[in-house]
Amino acid sequence: MAESEFAIRVRDLRKSYGGKPAVDGLRLEVPRGCFFGFLGPNGAGKTTTIRMLIGLAPPDSGSIELLGLASPDHAIEIKRRIGLVPDESLLFDRLTGGEFLEFVGRMYGLERRVARERTSELLALFELDGERGKLISEYSKGMRKRASMAAALIHRPDLLLLDEPFEGVDAVGARLMKELLQSLVREGVTIFLTSHVLEVVERLCDRVAIISQGRLVLEGIAEELRHGDETLEDLFVRAVGAERTLEKLEWL
């Protein structure tokens, strides 16, 4: 595959905190236009990796290319073309959902008219238009996630990075978000997803990578990685070496 065909290309990426490696020599290639699942146990380095990809955490060493552009050399152009739904919804609580979305749209350089039109359409799409006067501080966790997703999409990014996007979202909202994401992939958008809900990853993702203790342990087309009747959960447990027999507590 030519380099231009990768949405994400990472080489020997390393990041340590307090002398302990969080990401340790990660090498990763994500083809453009795919739905990519990035999996690992708690503390494996997933969120640290995303923070380095978006420029919030400088790597100790290694190289990052997003959409064919080297980071951090082309940081501004990269930021214009990516969208992010972080694990923690970092929203402006003293704004309404509409005010927040319009602000984000303007920050991405959209004309005021376009930002307002897209804000209205996104509020309706994510079923947030019924309470236009409600401040984000009054939103439920699921509403905050939907608002965060809407903000990540308002500038129509080429690459979407999602860190646990379905956490706290009800079944109806989650289904809407899944269908929307699948339609974006069909239109050529690349989606990089982390989630602990492996059934969701199994249903959505074309390719997966599994990391453990900051290192890549498995990567490829999901169906080709599984053995026989293995589920993605079986594959995950096998890859990270977490298989164990439950010991029954006498008092439980």
The domains of the chain, with CATH numbers, are 3-240 (3.40.50.300)
Rounded CA-CA distance 218/214 in Å is 12
H/E stretch holding 13 reads strand 6-17
Query: What is the reported pLDDT for 242?
Result: 64
What pLDDT score was predicted for residue 247?
Answer: 76
Q: What is the DSSP string of 65-80?
A: EETTEEETTTHHHHHH
Digit-by-digit pLDDT tens for the chain (252 residues) are: 444 689 999 999 999 999 899 999 999 999 999 999 999 998 899 999 999 999 999 999 999 999 999 999 999 999 999 999 988 777 999 999 999 999 999 999 999 999 999 999 999 999 998 877 899 999 999 999 999 999 999 999 999 999 999 988 999 989 999 999 999 999 999 999 999 889 899 999 999 999 999 999 999 998 898 888 889 998 998 888 766 666 778 887
Give the integer Cα–Cα distance in Å for 192 and 206. 11
